[in-house]
């Protein structure tokens, strides 16, 4: 069945490298398959890399983006592979995390990653931001506190807001000030 599916869309050959079948099956069944790679090919003539995602959509990247930083391993484009259940792209000993590639080249992925990061951030500022957005309030919705100050709190530049600020936040958000951090 897998061979029939890929015969139409993607097949090994002409330089296309795919994950081993057991890894391929797992990636294709993963709920986040669009964030994993199942294979790819290096097109040396066009100086490009085409990576195929678990949802079978290709991602075209310039080969020069994969240039090793000084002091790191040498990139060997003839030894291209996708490894680690679609999480890593390798060129011989040189490896790049799939997350780094997607963060750089896929705006939707960046949005999802940022949303996950904010949801996992336990800081007061992130809790304030989550609660503010949940209530549908803008940064300028807090009389007595500037939008700039709300932004500074949410970014973590203000570690411990003043009591008066907390009272204004709590009143406008409809929660006791000491409960804001629980959101």
Q: In 3-state terms, what secondary structure has residue 50?
A: strand
Mean of pLDDT values over 105-125 = 85
Residue 182 confidence (pLDDT) above 90:
no
- Average pLDDT of span 88-107: 91
User: In this predicted model, what pLDDT tens digit does every residue of 148-181 receive, in sequence order?
Assistant: 999 999 988 998 899 999 999 999 999 999 999 8
**Helix pair 21-29, 2-9: axis angle to 10 deg:** 80
Inter-residue contact 76 to 82 (CB < 8 Å)? no
Fold designation for 121-182: 434 Repressor (Amino-terminal Domain) (1.10.260)
Q: Dump pLDDT digits (tens) for 38-51.
A: 999 999 889 999 99
139: exposed, middle or buried (Cβ count in 10 Å: 0-12, 13-18, 19+): middle
């Amino acid at each position: 069945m897998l061979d029939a599916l890929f015969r139409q869309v993607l097949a090994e050959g002409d330089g296309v490298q795919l994950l081993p079948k057991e890894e391929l099956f797992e990636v294709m069944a993963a709920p986040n398959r669009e964030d994993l790679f199942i294979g790819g090919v290096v097109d040396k003539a066009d100086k490009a890399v085409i990576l195929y995602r678990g949802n079978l959509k290709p991602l075209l990247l310039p080969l020069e983006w994969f240039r090793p930083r000084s002091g790191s391993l040498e990139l060997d484009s003839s030894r291209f592979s996708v490894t680690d259940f679609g999480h890593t792209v390798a060129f011989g000993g040189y490896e790049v995390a799939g997350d780094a590639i997607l963060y750089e080249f896929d705006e939707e992925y960046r949005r999802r990653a940022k949303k996950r990061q904010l949801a996992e951030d336990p800081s007061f500022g992130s809790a304030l931001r989550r609660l503010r957005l949940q209530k549908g309030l803008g940064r300028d919705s807090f009389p007595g506190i500037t939008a700039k100050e709300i932004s500074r709190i949410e970014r973590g530049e203000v570690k411990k807001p003043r009591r008066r600020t907390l009272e204004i936040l709590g009143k406008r958000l409809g929660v006791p000030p000491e409960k804001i951090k629980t959101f």
